[in-house]
Structure 1
Amino acid sequence: MHQNNWLHNVSYYFKHILIASLALACLITVGSLAGHQINASTVYSYDNNQQVGSNDLINNRHKLYLPHASAAVAMDAQTGQIVYQKNDNQRRLIASTGKLMTLYLAGRKINNTPGAWNQNVAVNNGLRRMSYDGNDGGYHFINGHHYNVGNLMKAGIIASSNNAAIALGQWVGYTNHHFLYMENKQDRLWHLHDHFISASGLENGDLKPWGYGVKGYGNAAGNEISAKDLAVIAYHIIKDEPWFLKYSKINDMHEDGQNLYNYNEFLPDRDYPYLVKGLHVDGLKTGWTPRAGYCFVGTAQMPGHHRIITVVLHDDHQWHDSAKLMRYAYKYSKLLRN
């Protein structure tokens, strides 16, 4: 009787040890395969402040070489799926592409304020002087003339006017200081990790002569935003302010006695049609300062494809690299959906 119980116990424990060992082996195998085949990343749905964990298979299986870009991202604008990333979480100076946050917040106020498009915006002497500067201005503020929100939005979107962007920021936040607070608050609401000290994207040293430098920061300080976060801001503009694309795709426009020229070389009738062919670009924002280098946030939608968003930062070959990135995004964002 005791011998039978002993044999039974041995058999019982041996069986469970064997099962546990097999389970552990399976876990180790799966973990090993995941570590070698899947590059785990966090992909955001961006809706209702919700984050969704997902696996990015693209970078491991399909290499794209962008040697000139310091950072780059491609996103499927409908799903939020990141399909390419290079130094995507590095915060960098991003020049006028930082205006996207300013234009987003202005767009939100326009949508929630009846008649806002035609509201006059106060312009001070600092912004008037700035508007005539060849490097920092862009849209002339003539003494005694009134400018409304619509004038400034077009100047900011199409011509990337720095003084127009700052005036819009003051219209949204009532003071420049409070608007900078609003920019950083909105960034946190989207669970991003950036730092804004400018409505225009100019660096602190460029803003000081016009009275818009931020105390406590050196001349080289500026908006510092990662390529991935910049794609998220662009995502929200397209999602929440789709009318924005009506203006971002305009080559040039005569507005209130002034010409607005769009520096996006992917738009039709430009000097580099071989880059435009088949890309269907209709936005979004260019930027350059000596420290930030050439920056571009692009968006496009080919018939039968989801809209895509691409970001290249500090890239002397921004048009060539953005074209490569867009073609790549069209191809592989579609593969991820199949």
Structure 2
Amino acid sequence: MIRATLFIAAASLVVTSAAPAKAPPFDTAAPIAYLLDLSSGAVLLSKDADRRIPPASMAKMMTTNVAFELIDRGELPLNKMCTVRPETWQKWHGPQAGSTMFLSPNEQVSVENLLHGIVTLSGNDASVVLAECIAGTEEAFVNVMNENARRLGLTNSRFGNSNGWPDEGRTYVTARDLATLARAEIENHPKLYKQFYGQTSFTWGKTLGSGAAITQANRNPLLGKVAGADGLKTGHTEEAGYGFTGSAEQNGRRLIMVLAGVDSFTGRINESVRLMEWGFNAWQLKPLFKAGTSVGNAKVQLGSDSEVSLIAPRDLAVTIPAGVLSKVGGMKIRYQGPVKAPIAKGQHIADLVVAMPDGEQVMPLVAANAVDQAGFFGRMWIGLKQLFGMA
């Protein structure tokens, strides 16, 4: 397999400009910051985004992602009941245990409610109970977390527990990897993402004495402050400082942001809101292709067809500074080819790479139709053509 590159005409997409498109300035007090535009794949801000850091409770996004994978595969029912082991309760209750869902020993709790306890309440107890419910032990669940991380392309992250509790450096991530994980949550599990993220509060457990229901607010600093905010996860320990991986969608355009190492609770709120507002206000989208538009073709190996049409799986656009006319320098289709059959309709097999003044923006292209593997005689004919230089 070789990397194939097809250049496509971009003349109709060029807008001339007397002024070059420069990234609008943004300065943040956060030592680590990252902002990604999912609509175009453009990285709008990257500040020390590949430094290894402790994630604190942002690690719970991986616990949630593992659960989402199993739920969508039909292997983990939302109504499955999980038992709170007394040993787990003993370790993860009280002020010394950090954020809690206020579970009780031997309590039966559904997967659905545990996910609310993790996503909205950041419950350390909920994370461990769910991990034990899924894999038997937290240690076994951690193996699944790391396998999932490799599959998702988190190349600079490792998980040592299910909730991000400090563990002498065994658990580490980067801002770039956290954004990749958030993207997987949003794009791979849209129904579950909508169901569990963005809730302003959740009620579980009862107070001692009066037995009043305990309602806790979501710590997401964007909720109620930035339009379209709906995720994802805050984190805080003495070691990590205050961090946040967040997302918001406005007019069909979704951004993912990561901040880490902020020195105060209030600072995390202020910097998160500033960064997300800058992402939406200082940048704009320039449309390229409507969803379903044919962009090019890819060669197919040992297939019933020798080529497959590549289409846009959604509306594709590039991100440019707001109020500045920008020039698209050129576009190309890139894939590992020829693509081996069989190919499923809608399978991601290529990328559209757009050259911009400040770097490339990369968007997915998918197969317009299925391509079956060639039959025995078809493969023989293909082999003969290749042998005699006919293909």
Taking structure 2 as the reference length, the TM-score comes to 0.61
- Tell me the equivalent position of 1:74: 35
Aligned pairs for 1:243-282 (under 5 A) are 243-255=192-204, 258-268=214-224, 276=225, 278-282=226-230
Deviation at 1:283, TM superposition (A): 1.5
The AA in structure 2 aligned to 1:291 is E
Name which one, 1 or 2, has greater alpha-carbon Rg: 1
In the aligned structure 2, how far is the partner of 1:293 from the partner of 1:164?
22
In the aligned structure 2, how far is the partner of 1:98 from the partner of 1:241?
18
Deviation at 1:147, TM superposition (A): 1.1
- Tell me the equivalent position of 2:116: 154
Deviation at 1:305, TM superposition (A): 4.4
Identity fraction in percent: 23
In the aligned structure 2, how far is the partner of 1:286 from the partner of 1:250?
14
In the aligned structure 2, how far is the partner of 1:154 from the partner of 1:233?
19
- Tell me the equivalent position of 2:255: 308
Query: Which one of the candidate residues 110, 132, 140 is aligned to 1:178?
Result: 140
Q: Is the 8 A contact 1:96 1:202 kept in 2?
A: yes
Cα distance 1:139–1:83, how it changes in 2: closer, same or farther (>3 A)? same
Deviation at 1:73, TM superposition (A): 0.6
- Tell me the equivalent position of 1:241: 189
Residues 1:200 and 2:150 aligned together: no
Deviant stretches of 4+, over 4 Å: none
The superposition leaves residues 65-99 of structure 1 with CA deviations (integer Å, 9 ceiling, x where unpaired) of: 11x21211111124433211000111101100110
Q: Is the 8 A contact 1:305 1:334 kept in 2?
A: no
Deviation at 1:63, TM superposition (A): 2.5
Residues 1:109 and 2:70 aligned together: yes
Task: For residue 63 of structure 1, give the secondary structure of its aligned residue in structure 2.
Answer: coil
Task: For residue 100 of structure 1, give the secondary structure of its aligned residue in structure 2.
Answer: helix
Cα distance 1:237–1:115, how it changes in 2: closer, same or farther (>3 A)? closer
Task: For residue 223 of structure 1, give the secondary structure of its aligned residue in structure 2.
Answer: coil
Aligned pairs for 1:10-159 (under 5 A) are 61-66=23-28, 68-113=29-74, 116-137=77-98, 138-159=100-121
Residues 1:191 and 2:153 aligned together: yes
In the aligned structure 2, how far is the partner of 1:229 from the partner of 1:333?
25
- Tell me the equivalent position of 2:271: 321
Taking structure 1 as the reference length, the TM-score comes to 0.70
The AA in structure 2 aligned to 1:173 is A
Deviation at 1:224, TM superposition (A): 0.6
Q: Is the 8 A contact 1:128 1:140 kept in 2?
A: no
In the aligned structure 2, how far is the partner of 1:59 from the partner of 1:221?
41
Query: Which one of the candidate residues 239, 243, 250 is aligned to 1:291?
Result: 239
In the aligned structure 2, how far is the partner of 1:179 from the partner of 1:281?
30
The AA in structure 1 aligned to 2:219 is Y
The superposition leaves residues 182-203 of structure 1 with CA deviations (integer Å, 9 ceiling, x where unpaired) of: 1111211222221110110111
Cα distance 1:131–1:260, how it changes in 2: closer, same or farther (>3 A)? farther
In the aligned structure 1, how far is the partner of 2:50 from the partner of 2:203?
39
Deviation at 1:115, TM superposition (A): 6.8
